[in-house]
Amino acid sequence: MISNLPDRIFLCGFMGAGKSLIGHKLAEKLERTFLDLDDKIEEKAGQSIPEIFDETGEAGFRTLERRALQEVIREFEGVVALGGGSLQNQHMVDHIKLNGLLVFIETPISVILDRISEDQNRPLLLDEEGNPKDRAQLKEELTALYEQRLPLYQQAVITISNEGQNPDKIVQTLLKKIRNHVEYY
């Protein structure tokens, strides 16, 4: 057990970084509740993420995402896996950091591409007809998006790389980093 834990631990990082899996395992170790922000958005909307994108576009999804996050900050305590785009701007980063401990799960874009390019549940990976974008286009688009988001992810208080390590090992290292952080401050 770690005493003096912040009320919330937020995990950020790109799609396919393993935020949900690591979040689950971390919450178990800390004996805290786990929440996946994407699940909360779907539950509140009564629709899947692809359906929300279909109906309201990305802008509509981002509005729901902001509202869900506000609700989490008001009502939830525990470990939260954010979506890859939840850190929408500097204001959001500041707000999250005021309300919990922000952790960045760092994964090279090459690993991400291998992991997620076939995923049908992530609308940003699909073309207008709902088919997977071709690999070259996807690589170009996701690399640009990753670079755009990186300065926001990098403001996390703790960064952990998940390259070449199994999730249990990552969680072990993360627990040490959290303990050091909490004890120091």
Residue numbers at the binding site for ligand S3P (CB under 6 A): 15, 19, 38, 49, 83-85, 122-124
Closer by beta carbon to ligand S3P, 88 or else 182: 88
Closer by beta carbon to ligand S3P, 72 or else 124: 124
Q: How far apart are CA 60 and CA 65, in angstroms?
A: 9
* Coil/strand/helix, residue 104: strand
Q: Which two tokens stand for residue 153?
A: 């992810």
Q: Which two tokens stand for residue 164?
A: 């070449």
Q: In the chain, what is the straight-line distance between the N-terminal and C-terminal CA atoms, in Å?
A: 17
Min CB(44)–ligand S3P separation in Å: 13
Closer by beta carbon to ligand S3P, 4 or else 131: 131
Query: Within a 10 A sphere around the Cβ of 132, how many other Cβ atoms?
Result: 15
Sign of the CA dihedral with 10 first, then 85, 174, and 28 last = positive
Min CB(55)–ligand S3P separation in Å: 14
Min CB(12)–ligand S3P separation in Å: 9
Closer by beta carbon to ligand S3P, 18 or else 78: 18
Min CB(74)–ligand S3P separation in Å: 20
